[in-house]
């Protein structure tokens, strides 16, 4: 299998095969091996978010495989949102800038169907703090470890709609508190890409209904005991690392969580 990688790129790990001295993993179809190897090359910095990949023909030549095998690997990456295809231009590593949708993971809408991301954002604080047990468990760091903590309020037409509490581990995102305080970005994920070359490619969310806390009531202008929707999010990088823990709380009278599923 290593012979097929002779021209696959400089300083790039070959296909899996026990190179670290351990047992070789179970065989995978060639197109999946190509897909996984392309991901590793992106992680190693050979291509950055937004950059153009070589053509399928050139990749096929480099891997000494058929163009069809490489095309199937690219199709897998497209399906997972890791690369984007543009007619007449080629295939690009996914990015949160340009025509890539920076809010593709954001599912909140007003009752009239407007996206909350189209409204106003008020930054309440961006500081260095200590990871709570809940955030630490999600981010796989020690409780009390230093983290960047961001609190902001999303409003629509002057009405407060959602309170967001965002935590970033400083091991991956050193100085993120200062960057967020200075830039006050609407898209956290675009900021992660631009400053840390971290591309968020997956989020896991847990949705709960509960009563508003005093902090929720104050920020969202709610009466005591008002029901709210809480969405706990964990965002992962292209390499599978947990990068961001987020707790979003919205009042349910004027907003909802919207998602569309297809078979």
Q: What is the DSSP string of 37-106?
A: HHHHHHHTTSS-TTPBPPPHHHHHHHHTS-HHHHHHHHHHHHHTTSEEEETTTEEEE--SSTTS-TTTT-
Residue 11: left (phi > 0), alpha (psi -120 to 50), or beta? left
- Residue linked to tokens 């809408």: 109
Tell me whether domains 2-93 and 108-257 share a fold: no
Reported pTM = 0.69
* pLDDT score recorded for residue 159: 93
Please state the separation of Cα 211 from the chain's center in Å.
29
Predicted confidence at residue 220, as pLDDT, reads 95
Listed in sequence order, the residues at least 6 apart from 262 whose beta carbon sits closer than 8 Å to its beta carbon are: none
How far apart are alpha carbons 257 and 238 in whole angstroms? 25
Looking at residue 224, what is its pLDDT?
Answer: 93
Contacts 24+ apart (CB under 8 A), 257-260: 257/107, 257/108, 257/207, 257/229, 257/231, 258/107, 258/108, 258/109, 259/107
Domain ranges, ordered by start, for the chain: 2-93, 108-257
Q: Which helix (H) or strand (E) holds 189?
A: helix 188-196
What are the beta bridge partners of residue 237? 200
How much helix, strand and coil, in percent to the nearest 5, is found in the chain?
30, 30, 40
- Ranges under pLDDT 70 in the chain: 1-27, 96-105, 262-263
CATH assignment, 108-257: 3.40.1410.10
pLDDT of residue 97: 61
pLDDT digits (tens, 9 = 90+) for 221-260: 999 999 999 999 999 988 788 999 999 999 888 888 887 7
Return all residues near 208 (Cβ < 8 A) that are at least 6 apart.
229, 230, 231, 232
Q: What is the DSSP string of 206-238?
A: EEEEEEPPHHHHHHHT--TT-EEEEEEEEEEET
Angle among Cα 90, 198, 170 to the nearest 5 degrees reads 175
Element (H, E) at 160: strand 159-169
Looking at residue 7, its pLDDT comes to 40
Residue 122 pLDDT? 94
Burial-class residue 192 by CB neighbours within 10 Å (0-12, 13-18, 19+).
buried
User: What CATH topology corresponds to 2-93?
Assistant: Arc Repressor Mutant, subunit A (1.10.10)
């Amino acid at each position: 299998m290593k012979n097929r990688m002779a021209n696959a790129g400089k300083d790039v790990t070959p296909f899996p095969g026990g190179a670290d001295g351990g047992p070789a993993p179970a065989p995978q179809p060639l197109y999946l091996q190509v897909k996984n190897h392309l991901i590793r090359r992106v992680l190693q910095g050979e291509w950055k978010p937004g950059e153009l990949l070589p053509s399928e023909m050139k990749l096929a030549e480099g891997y000494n495989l058929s163009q069809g095998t490489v095309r199937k690997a690219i199709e897998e990456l497209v399906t997972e949102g890791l690369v984007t295809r543009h007619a007449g231009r080629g295939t690009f590593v996914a990015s949160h800038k340009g025509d890539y949708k920076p809010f593709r993971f954001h599912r909140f809408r007003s009752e009239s169907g407007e996206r909350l991301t189209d409204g106003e954002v008020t930054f309440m604080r961006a500081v260095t703090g200590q990871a709570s047990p809940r955030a630490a468990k999600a981010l796989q760091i020690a409780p009390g470890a230093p983290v960047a903590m961001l609190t902001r309020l999303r409003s629509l037409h002057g009405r407060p709609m959602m309170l967001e509490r965002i935590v970033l581990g400083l091991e991956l995102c050193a100085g993120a508190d200062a960057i967020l305080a200075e830039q006050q970005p609407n898209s956290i994920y675009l900021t992660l890409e631009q400053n840390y070359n971290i591309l968020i490619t997956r989020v896991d969310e847990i949705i709960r209904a509960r009563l508003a806390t005093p902090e929720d009531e104050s920020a969202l202008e709610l009466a005591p005991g008002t029901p709210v929707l809480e969405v706990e999010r964990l965002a992962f990088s292209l390499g599978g690392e947990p990068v961001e823990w987020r707790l979003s709380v919205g009042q349910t009278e004027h907003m909802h969580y919207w998602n569309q599923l297809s078979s």
